[in-house]
Structure 1
Amino acid sequence: MRAAEHLARFVTDLDFAAIPTRARDYAKLSLLDTLGIALAGYHEPSTHAARCLALQHGGDPQATLLVHGRKVPAPQAALVNGTASFSHNFTDTTLSCVIHGGPVIIPAALAMGEITGASGADVLTAIVAGYEVMTRVGNAINAGSARMSHHRKGYHPTGTCGVFGAAAVAAKLLGLSAETTCHSLGIAGSFAAGLSESLIDGTDTWRAHGGFAAQNGITSTLLAREGLTGPTGVFDGQRGFCTAFTDGHYDASALERHRDDALLILDTAFKLHNTAHVWALPLDALAALRQQHHFTVADVDEMIVTFPQTWTAIMDDPSGATYAPVSYAQATNNLRYCLAAGLHDGKVYVEQFDDVHLHNAAILETAKRVTPRPDADLGRIFETSDKATTHLEVILKSGTHYQLQVDYPRGSPQNPATAAELEAKFDALSASVLPSEQLTRLKARLFTLEDEANLDAIMTCTMSSGH
């Protein structure tokens, strides 16, 4: 049996009753987390561009555009809402392969949930299935012995791997057979795309990668339903995804799920800092050291960050020389800027990347005093385990040294955030977009999603009365 057939069988066979409570809770938290980011991203230029295109195209009113409220065809809704969900670098992450499931899986599930009239339990099941497929594909080509090789070739795995997860979501909610689901995955392989160059030059394309993957995964599945066939060797064939998208280092066995394996949605890490997830570790260390020792910006002479060398693959400047990024995309992936902003403001949220902050002379001066030290030994640990060990040393002008090592970022499964912390994040991101009482109703329905007969009430809670 080919890998695509294994994945299709998993998607078809997955039943809500068999999903552990903890995995259901993770799916709800992913919904909450992703919707908060999407609401905050409503006014971003990237979201505006996608929304304008969807409204210009028109078509059957199938699925809701968040905040705006207009209904458009499901693939278009997934594009717009997925782009909004990736408008900030606050999205959840699976650290084993560094992919972001939320901005792909959640928009696909909402769009297809509406078009099929699915129950809340069915939507949760599809979300779990989508995370499973997307993460297995990511683990096959960007984890273990292949750790970050997909990144180093210039791909953005949220786009390349996400399309398969979105196809799985759509197939599950449409109730397709295993054979047709396999075809949808085969078709999705020809939609797999996403380059990380925009993260280097600061343009916006990366923000649309979640939307592209969600849209194209749905399109693949709708085509399969109408009779288009796709290759069963899409992953492990001679010219399949694993061969075409890697340098030859991949683990096809990661595509298969063994009987006692935990569901991979449980590997999701939620961000508490609006930055590349790998830079959450030194930010966590900085917050802990400041709380313990009460030093100020004026006290600090240098901050030295020692981190896995593997991570240079996602830095906006792999040399670490840049301390003054010129755009949002560059800044959220720039270690020196993020640590400096965190020291000055005590947090790294959305506002730390506005034009005022990016041109703040004091923050940029502090960024000069951040020294990145990629470490090959820590890189090998990261490549062979689930540890993302990072060491922060803060040297004060007085000569005092403070040091702290962090192995897992706050919000990861090994160092989990509380539901209250994630709810506070949602509140902070969405407060300026929708009325508080409406957001309260939305949260209540999300936390009891399995009791919803359909998504109508939830989607109503995401609409602004101003449209």
Structure 2
Amino acid sequence: MTTTGEIADFALDVSYDDLSEETRDALKRRVLDSVGIAVGAMGSETTEKIRTTVESMNDDGACRLWGSDRRASPPDAAMLNTALVRYLDYMDSYLAPGETPHPSDNVAAIVACGELVDASGEELLTAIGVAYEVQGELGYAAPVRDKGWDHVTHTVVSATAGAATILGLERDAFRNAVGIAATAHNALRVTRTGGINEWKGVASANAARNAVYSVLLARDGLEGPVDVFEGQKGWKQVVSGEFEVEYTPAERVHDVMAKKYVAETYAQSAIEAVIELTAEEDIDPTAIDAIRLDTFAGAKLIIGGGEGSRYEVETKAQADHSLPYMLAVAALDGEVTEAQYDTDRIREDDVQRLLRTVEVEEDPALTERFEAGEMPAVVELDVDGETHRIEKDAFPGHPRESMTWDQLEGKFEATTRDRYDDAHRDRLVDTVRTLDESDVSELVALLD
């Protein structure tokens, strides 16, 4: 079974010395990916709405609001900065068979709490490792999607664990923090079903804010239901069902994927397949008559039409949750970046015509392969009476093909080039690569 005590005992027992060199390196890469994506999201319409709200409530505070010189309280900084990490839908993902949480949703909350106590880089990486482990274990052992709960239901628990770790909460306060967070902040799956709107990209930021607030309440002595998981009408009875987990020092970070394309997690291999096939066969995309995708159950359910039509696409929130749109624009443009989510691009006739030719079907054999660790996709393009076919089982960034530092730095350069010059970008990369020799304040000072 899992209890608040087991989470606290695991987190309190982990030290930086327990992390292997490979794990430390993986955690640094997760930090670089997260802050690079956040920089790319600065100035976007949705995140600016959140910035307006947060700034209106904060004249000053302990934590920097990334992308400005303004400061705010730790919960409000966690809200905005997590939204920046999450909004582009370019964040990392943990590929469990029945759930796909995004562990990078934890990073900004832990950074904010690290600012509050002037934490070292080693302390930051250790706390992020705790959060990744808790979120990965919950996603694997206690999926909640099919029960009607959103995956950020896990995030509020994992972010609480990471925030409590970096703030140095003692065991009783740690348990109270998890109890408060896991009792009060369970999110409904309706966020990602039917018509999709802006909240899809903001729900995890709200979870991060709630996590930090729960930890601060517990730090100041507020008690919470420490039997939240096993208690009567608790998390296991109401939210998840029975489950057991086994925490190890940050091992789950090695099972996390980085996205190559600005697109929903389950679309990555299919997009790679469409772009590769169109290029290899020298296909004129305007001549494509139909696109067919055989995929696994989760992809069909979430972005292929299983939780609502994915053919009515007019906004970014709808587009990055629609396999028909993503495959159509990938074929036409040969890439899927932020530019493919401009409103004018989304509504152009060529992509609107082609997306309506896309057929998405679940293949049980591909579902079995996904549950065994692949991300399979079989794509067929009908062009002038001919059918072109390609099959993929992964993509660059999948845990089987992890991104190297060079690849991640290339992604980082692409998301930050409009804001930072080469010298500033190099300082940020160097700070992350040597984070165990730096502190949180040095990292945050560069996120202006």
Same fold (TM over 0.5): yes
Change (3 A) 1:113 1:320: closer
What is aligned with 2:379? 392
What is aligned with 2:271? 283
- Secondary structure of the structure 2 residue equivalent to 1:303: strand
- Secondary structure of the structure 2 residue equivalent to 1:365: helix
Partners of 2:207 and 2:100 in 1: CA distance? 16
What TM-score do the two structures reach when normalised by structure 2?
Answer: 0.93
CA contact (8 A) 2:78 2:108 kept: yes
Change (3 A) 1:48 1:262: closer
Partners of 2:190 and 2:279 in 1: CA distance? 37
Change (3 A) 1:169 1:107: same
Q: Deviations over 1:153-205 (max 9, x none)?
A: 44320x21111111111111111223321221111112333334344423211
CA contact (8 A) 1:129 1:168 kept: yes
What is aligned with 1:214? 208
- Secondary structure of the structure 1 residue equivalent to 2:379: strand
What is aligned with 2:90? 90
Q: Deviations over 1:331-357 (max 9, x none)?
A: 111111101100111111111011111
What is aligned with 2:217? 223
- Secondary structure of the structure 2 residue equivalent to 1:282: helix
CA contact (8 A) 1:408 1:414 kept: yes
What is aligned with 1:411? 397
What TM-score do the two structures reach when normalised by structure 1?
Answer: 0.89
Partners of 1:217 and 1:108 in 2: CA distance? 8
Amino acid of the residue matched to residue 359 of structure 2? T
Amino acid of the residue matched to residue 122 of structure 1? E
What is aligned with 1:47? 47
Amino acid of the residue matched to residue 110 of structure 1? V
What is aligned with 2:446? 461
Partners of 1:99 and 1:257 in 2: CA distance? 17
Following superposition of structure 1 onto structure 2, how do residues 228-239 of structure 1 map, counting pairs within 5 Å?
228-239=222-233
* Deviation at residue 288 of structure 1 after TM alignment: 2.8
- Secondary structure of the structure 2 residue equivalent to 1:373: strand
Q: Give identity over the alignment, percent.
A: 26
What is aligned with 2:247? 257
Partners of 2:337 and 2:228 in 1: CA distance? 39
Partners of 1:376 and 1:320 in 2: CA distance? 20
Partners of 1:19 and 1:319 in 2: CA distance? 40
Change (3 A) 1:316 1:72: farther
* Deviation at residue 2 of structure 1 after TM alignment: 4.8
- Secondary structure of the structure 1 residue equivalent to 2:231: coil
* Deviation at residue 272 of structure 1 after TM alignment: 0.9
* Deviation at residue 291 of structure 1 after TM alignment: 4.1
Change (3 A) 1:2 1:333: closer
Q: Deviations over 1:232-268 (max 9, x none)?
A: 332233322233224x4x5x11x2326xx87111111
Partners of 1:320 and 1:187 in 2: CA distance? 33
What is aligned with 1:75? 75
Unaligned runs of 5+ in 2: none
What is aligned with 1:187? 180
Amino acid of the residue matched to residue 67 of structure 2? V
* Deviation at residue 394 of structure 1 after TM alignment: 2.5
Partners of 1:418 and 1:320 in 2: CA distance? 36
What is aligned with 2:370? 382
- Secondary structure of the structure 2 residue equivalent to 1:372: strand
Partners of 1:402 and 1:263 in 2: CA distance? 40
Partners of 1:49 and 1:196 in 2: CA distance? 23
CA contact (8 A) 1:391 1:404 kept: yes
CA contact (8 A) 1:309 1:376 kept: yes
CA RMSD of aligned residues (A): 2.1
Amino acid of the residue matched to residue 329 of structure 2? A
- The counterpart of 2:196, out of the listed 202, 208, 223, is 202
CA contact (8 A) 1:324 1:337 kept: no
* Deviation at residue 387 of structure 1 after TM alignment: 2.7
Unaligned runs of 5+ in 1: 143-149
What is aligned with 1:140? 141
Aligned length: 445
